[in-house]
Amino acid sequence: MGANFDEPAPPTDYPVRPVTLVEPFGAGGGPDIVARTLANKLSQLWHQPVSVHNRPGSGSTTAPSLVANAAADGYTLLVNTSAHAYSAATRTDLPYDPLHDFVPVAPLTSQPYVLVTGQPAGIKTLDELIQAAQARPGELTFATTGIGTATHIGLEELNLMTGISAIHIPPGSNDAISDVLAGVIRGESDYMMSPISIVEPHLRAGELTPLGISTITRSRLLPKVPTIHEAGAPGYDFPIWYGVWAPAGTPPAIIQTLSGDISAAITALDLARRLEREDAQPISMTQQRFARFVLDEHHGAKQIIQRASTVRP
């Protein structure tokens, strides 16, 4: 990225005007909730308006494209999921470079997914899913929100750990996660990973069955659902995490201000309590450590995809 963030930055009066957080998903989803909670706290801290713009579409590439082409002045920032790091390892058709067109600024939160199946699949536990895959190798299907997304990487890792051989069904170009879920409910795909908040209504309605939580500890939102680690894949631990990125070329002084202020905001007691209701755990790292973390996540995803490609049915 060309800048030495280990050196002390000169003082900056940033921000002196409104800041925009752009996120690639629809209103009401996990990233949107976290982004709006953060925006409110930063507005209080900076005494400047901080707004959230939802830019879904084009396989979640619209928002990153907008930010990659924005002025590198710290006033247009990207809030994205771990998929931003993963996509650099899995896609070559992106209109931007996820690693080189952005500067990692700060992590935000970590939270679990839930593994679910629809009623047509007739599967009630992770063991039953594994047994079904063994009985019909290469016939089961799993849905995701797109190639290189966290739902994709998380399921590829689960399949590798459990020996499941299944066919990936990526979404259509204009499909939202609600469309992907609807396909699982109708039996068009056998299983998928999802943020808990999105599937909760379908779990209550009995349209979906939870098989396991993706993190090593159980979810506050679904305390009776075992972790995937407990249910049959020992050691499995795959949270989704959110972070903030700035356009490449943003001055180091602004990056340092953003990193410190976002870390202070996301770990503030009132904000942490608000996020806890969404089962989101605040993450605090220096900018340098977050940049290394993003690269580590990128390399991990690349290894998973390479391994998965050798066993694809």
CATH assignment of the domain containing 264: 3.40.190.150
At 77, the amino acid letter reads L
Whether 77 is covered by a domain: the verdict is yes
Instruction: Determine the 3-state secondary structure of 161 from DSSP.
Output: helix
Whether 5 is covered by a domain: the verdict is no
Where residue 80 falls among pLDDT bands split at 50, 70, 90?
very high
> Quick one: average pLDDT of 6-26?
78
DSSP secondary structure, 257-311, as one string:
HHHHHHHHHHTSHHHHHHHHTTTPEE----HHHHHHHHHHHHHHHHHHHHHHHTT
CA torsion angle for 55, 173, 196, 116 (degrees, to 10)? 180
Q: What's the total number of domains in the chain?
A: 2
Q: Decide if 73 contacts 148 (C-beta within 8 A).
A: no
* Final residue before a domain boundary, out of 238, 257, 291: 238
* Final residue before a domain boundary, out of 200, 217, 238: 238
> Quick one: average pLDDT of 8-29?
81
Q: What pLDDT is stored for residue 176 in this prediction?
A: 74
Q: Which of 45-54, 141-150, 208-217 has the lowest mean pLDDT?
A: 141-150
Where residue 59 falls among pLDDT bands split at 50, 70, 90?
low
> What residues have CB less than 8 Å from 131, skipping those under 6 apart?
none
Q: What pLDDT is stored for residue 5 in this prediction?
A: 42
At 277, the amino acid letter reads R
Task: Write the CA distances from 227 to 115, 234, 307, integer angstroms.
Answer: 9, 9, 24
Q: What pLDDT is stored for residue 171 in this prediction?
A: 86
Where residue 27 falls among pLDDT bands split at 50, 70, 90?
confident
What share of the chain has pLDDT > 70, as a percent? 93
CA pair distance 33, 29, nearest whole angstrom = 6
- Does the structure show a pLDDT above 80 at 43? yes
More confident residue, 235 or 269: 235
What's this model's pTM, rounded to 2 decimal places?
A: 0.89
User: Is the CA virtual torsion 302, 304, 307, 308 positive or negative?
Assistant: negative
Q: What pLDDT is stored for residue 199 in this prediction?
A: 93
Q: What is the pLDDT of residues 93-142, one digit of tens each?
A: 899 999 999 999 999 999 999 999 999 999 999 999 999 999 999 999 99
* Final residue before a domain boundary, out of 185, 210, 238: 238
Domain that holds residue 71: 19-111+239-304
CATH assignment of the domain containing 202: 3.40.190.10
Q: What is the pLDDT of residues 153-185, one digit of tens each?
A: 999 999 999 999 999 998 876 677 888 999 999
Q: Which two tokens stand for residue 181?
A: 């879920």
CA pair distance 76, 18, nearest whole angstrom = 9
Q: What pLDDT is stored for residue 221 in this prediction?
A: 94
Please tell me whether residues 121 and 209 are part of one structural domain.
Answer: yes
Q: What pLDDT is stored for residue 58 in this prediction?
A: 67
Whether 284 is covered by a domain: the verdict is yes
> Quick one: average pLDDT of 176-202?
92
The candidate with the shortest Cα–Cα distance to 87, out of 149, 138, 142, is: 149
Q: Decide if 108 contacts 48 (C-beta within 8 A).
A: no
Q: What pLDDT is stored for residue 9 in this prediction?
A: 46
Q: What pLDDT is stored for residue 144 in this prediction?
A: 93
Q: What pLDDT is stored for residue 295 in this prediction?
A: 96
Token pair 């003082």 is found at 11
Token pair 């890792």 is found at 157
Q: Decide if 23 contacts 78 (C-beta within 8 A).
A: yes
